[in-house]
Structure 1
Amino acid sequence: MREEATYRGTVYPWQCDHVGHMNIMWYVGKFDEANWNLFARLGLTPSYLRTSGRGMAAVQQNISYTRELLAGDIVEIRSVLLEVRDKLIRFRHDMTNVETSETAATCEITAVHMDRAARKSAPFEAFISETALRQLAEPVMA
């Protein structure tokens, strides 16, 4: 799977901190919005999550900040699926400044599919696993 756009937005002045660049809480928020677009492409849509009693939980998140973003900058996040297991996916988001094409931050997340009632991990449905495996950055060889 090539990286695909999962978020596009603007840095607003109220998202900037005392040094004038976007505060880290907003990076996390924009990455979170990208999560839901990526999940929907895998079949983890809002309606699936509501009707199945399933959910997704991040268990690890690593962010690298490489360029500052300022008020008015347009950002795009492109996402790629790195790993798929029975109950887990790992993916990366790359946030870029659209005007300069510079990478502003990257975020790698490991997320677990869960049963919301039992509050524990649960295997993905076959259709989700199959969709995800087809979209891996480096497909698994059979």
Structure 2
Amino acid sequence: MSELEVTYRGTVYPWHCDHMGHMNVMWYVGKFDEATWQFFSGLGLTSAYLRDNGRGMVAVEQKIAYKREVHAGDVVLVRSVLLEVRDKVIRFCHRMENAATGELVAVTVLTGIHIDTTVRHSCPMPPEIVSAAQKAVVPGFEPGI
């Protein structure tokens, strides 16, 4: 999986851990969210583009599989891959790994919709973003969820 783009790298801090001593699920989602915005930016869906054009991205579906525990002090990284792009829809996968061991920690597949933030309805992404993103899709990639 090392050919997938690294979109997040960070440390698990003690306050990320629950009473059982491992990172709580809310922090997996938070780290995946940070990876999402890095990933989107690389596709042209930057904060400037969204802000300047009255556009946004909303998650409409997220599936997560937790594979291994991580603990305070562990460094995790997220690798991301584009699974599908349509005019208004983007589907992608994040794979979180323990940076030291390379073990898969968690996997998530998300579906996002491009919206007009004024009317709060879906709308097409610019054709140049769709076209460039479609070239980045990895056909047949199996997320492992």
Counterpart for residue 34 of structure 1: 35
Identity %: 57
Q: Give the residue type in structure 1 aligned to 2:75.
A: I
State the alpha-carbon separation in 1 of the partners of residues 83 and 47 from structure 2.
22
Counterpart for residue 124 of structure 2: 123
Counterpart for residue 134 of structure 2: 133
Counterpart for residue 75 of structure 1: 76
> Structure 2-normalised TM-score?
0.93
User: Any stretches of 5+ residues in structure 2 without a counterpart?
Assistant: 141-145
* Shift of residue 53, structure 1, vs aligned partner: 0.3
Q: Give the residue type in structure 2 aligned to 1:101.
A: G
State the alpha-carbon separation in 2 of the partners of residues 88 and 68 from structure 1.
32
Could you report, residue by residue, the CA deviation over 1:30-60 in whole angstroms, capped at 9, with x for unpaired residues? Answer: 0000000110011000100010000000000
* Shift of residue 138, structure 1, vs aligned partner: 1.7
Counterpart for residue 98 of structure 1: 99
Q: Give the residue type in structure 2 aligned to 1:103.
A: L
State the alpha-carbon separation in 2 of the partners of residues 76 and 138 from structure 1.
23
Runs of 4+ in structure 1 off by over 4 angstroms are none
User: Once superposed, what is the RMSD of the aligned Cα atoms?
Assistant: 1.0
Could you report, residue by residue, the CA deviation over 1:69-126 in whole angstroms, capped at 9, with x for unpaired residues? Answer: 1000000000000001110000000000011100000000000000000101000101
State the alpha-carbon separation in 2 of the partners of residues 93 and 37 from structure 1.
12
Query: How many equivalent pairs are there?
Result: 138
* Shift of residue 134, structure 1, vs aligned partner: 1.0
Q: Are 1:21 and 2:22 an aligned pair?
A: yes
> Structure 1-normalised TM-score?
0.95
